Amino acid sequence: MTDRNVIFFDIDGTLLTEDKELPSSTKEAIFNLKKAGHEVAIATGRAPFMFADLRKELDIHTYVSYNGQYVVLNGEVIYTNALNLSSLGRLTEAALENDHPVVYMDHEDMKANVPEHSYITESINSLKVGHFPTHNPDYYKDRAMYQTLLFCPEGEEKQYEREFKDFDFVRWHPVSVDVLPAGGSKAIGIEKIVKKLGFPKERQYAFGDGLNDREMLTTIYHSVAMGNASDEIKSVAKHVTKSVEQDGIYHGLKMIGLL
């Protein structure tokens, strides 16, 4: 089929509503895309184990997770980019001194360096993913970590940004930031997939709403920001659809001619 396209969807605020529900119109739209022969993929900041149920429900086997650090094509891992472990050890020490807990994340699980903390409870519970980190301060020492969560109030991540240049810090919650390898992004993960699949840029689409979608929406030829995205994110996308609660995926796909 010569007119096949590849479409990447962010999860939170794009496929899922604020209440973490999948609109029926979105599910129907995804299956119609697949029926038409298009390649449908996910591009998220989430860990793979945090959206396994969604992948199963939508029958999607290609995804960019951890904002580009762990990439899977048709069920096979094709690219990984892990955090520098020695820098992660130093970050942990600095965070402990400031009473800022951290959660280490690989492709299978996540573990906290403290038994409990209100910041961890507040932010992880907001995701409504049914996963909560247990305590293992040594978890990062003998395996690849693709992301770490640093828990601190807004603005307090600046001290870490100054000191740890091989990490990027991306805030996703009032008391939590993602810690990623410097320069890593969804756009890089997507590039690994489209290169393998051989889709030209004119046949690449992406939908997103958050700050971690900026690079993806800037680089993908047909980019669509959700109506619930900030003005900053809307300004970098080629198109803006309705909000996720207003059947934004369905309307966006109709608007760009894929449905």
CB 144, CB 113: distance < 8 Å: no
Catalytic residue (choose from 10, 12, 168, 247): 10
CA distances to 15, 23, 181, 217, 259 from 243, in Å: 10, 11, 31, 16, 18
Spatial separation of the C-alpha atoms in residues 78 and 143, rounded to whole Å: 18
Helix axis angle, 24-35 relative to 248-255, nearest 10°?
40
Give the angle subtended at the CA of 201 by the CAs of 198 and 205, to the nearest 5°.
Answer: 100
Element housing 118 (H / E): helix 118-127
- 166 secondary structure, DSSP code: T
Q: Quick count: other Cβ atoms within 10 Å of Cβ 236?
A: 17
Q: Return the biggest CA–CA distance within the chain.
A: 58
Q: Quick count: other Cβ atoms within 10 Å of Cβ 72?
A: 24
Catalytic residue list contains 231: no
Give the angle subtended at the CA of 53 by the CAs of 52 and 57, to the nearest 5°.
Answer: 120
Q: Quick count: other Cβ atoms within 10 Å of Cβ 11?
A: 23
Query: Which sequence positions are flagged as catalytic?
Result: 10
